[in-house]
Homo-oligomer: A and B are copies of this chain.
Amino acid sequence: MRLKLIGTGNAAGIPIYGCECLLCVKAKENVGFRRGPASALLEINEKKYLIDAGGMDIADKFSDDKLDGIFLTHFHPDHVQGLFQLRWGKGESIPVYCPPDSLGCADLYKNSGILDFNSKKKFETFRIDYLQVTPLPLIHSKVTFGYFFEFENYRIAYLTDTKGLPPKTSIFLQDKMIDLLIIDTSHSPDVVDYNHNNLTESLLIHDLLKPIRTVLTHISHDFDIWLDENKNNLPNNVVVAKDGIEVFPF
């Protein structure tokens, strides 16, 4: 099982249109500073699964290297906008596992093309070959799932977008001996947002779930600037995501 982060930003991304700050200027010149919409690629035995589909170039990126499935956390545009083009692809349909959201996003359900939307139930574990997946409710402005992936002896929890965790999700995850936790950490500790964690809230979840490693993702522009000066103060087993890095195995 391998997990690569495709995007690690929020809906605005880095660089931000019209922003002249040092970070955005650097990001225009050096792709290492860029952040696309939060998304990841899970690879197991040569099968490829996308976690969220906000990457606006996914139809192109995976055209030869086809996708075997997509896990959607929720239907906000920055998590699904790559599907608007991908759906018109050719070949086998792509299963899209998603929360039960009757609205979806724009006309994705109406004109689904090669996408086969499979709405899943919270806490009901399902299997795809040897991968075991449990959708976990999160706290966000739209019905949202995190996903708990189990393969052989490895356990990964991917939790975006969320502000804290619902008690039942915490209880479910607490005894799971998580190898890798990937958690929405949109903001620095001083920012209050009812839909996303700030760093303090993420570290509380890290302390509660005690994963071997935690990766902070869904990083906002302002948090990225804050991190530039403060990331050395993070716990040793907490790292800040970067676009394109492989985070599992570590």
Point out residues on A near B: beta carbons under 8 Å. Answer: 11-13, 15-19, 24, 28, 37, 56-57, 59-60, 62-64, 66, 76-78, 81, 84-86, 88-92, 105-107, 114
* A18 and B90 contacting across the interface, CB-CB below 8 Å: yes
Looking at the assembled complex, report how far the CB atom of A202 sits from the nearest CB atom of chain B, in whole angstroms.
21
* A77 and B107 contacting across the interface, CB-CB below 8 Å: yes
Q: How far is the CA of A19 from the CA of B77 in the complex (A)?
A: 25
Q: Which B residues touch A60, using CB under 8 A?
A: 15, 17
Q: Which B residues touch A84, using CB under 8 A?
A: 11, 77-78, 81
* B63 and A12 contacting across the interface, CB-CB below 8 Å: no
Q: How far is the CA of A47 from the CA of B28 in the complex (A)?
A: 23
Looking at the assembled complex, report how far the CB atom of A176 sits from the nearest CB atom of chain B, in whole angstroms.
34
Known: A12-B88, A12-B89, A106-B105. Is A17-B78 also a contact (CB below 8 A)? no
Q: How far is the CA of A83 from the CA of B66 in the complex (A)?
A: 27
Looking at the assembled complex, report how far the CB atom of A181 sits from the nearest CB atom of chain B, in whole angstroms.
27
Q: Which B residues touch A77, using CB under 8 A?
A: 81, 84, 106-107
Looking at the assembled complex, report how far the CB atom of A151 sits from the nearest CB atom of chain B, in whole angstroms.
26
What are the nearest 7 A-B pairs in CB distance? A17-B89, A12-B88, A56-B56, A18-B91, A77-B84, A17-B59, A18-B90
Q: How far is the CA of A11 from the CA of B78 in the complex (A)?
A: 18
| A63 in complex: contacting residue of B15, B86, B106, CB < 8 Å | B15
Q: How far is the CA of A84 from the CA of B37 in the complex (A)?
A: 11
* A19 and B89 contacting across the interface, CB-CB below 8 Å: yes
Looking at the assembled complex, report how far the CB atom of A22 sits from the nearest CB atom of chain B, in whole angstroms.
14
In the complex, residue of chain B having the shortest beta-carbon distance to the beta carbon of A54: B84
Q: Which B residues touch A78, using CB under 8 A?
A: 84-85
* A66 and B106 contacting across the interface, CB-CB below 8 Å: no
Looking at the assembled complex, report how far the CB atom of A89 sits from the nearest CB atom of chain B, in whole angstroms.
3
Q: How far is the CA of A12 from the CA of B114 in the complex (A)?
A: 12
Q: How far is the CA of A28 from the CA of B105 in the complex (A)?
A: 29
* A16 and B90 contacting across the interface, CB-CB below 8 Å: yes
| A85 in complex: contacting residue of B17, B28, B85, CB < 8 Å | B17
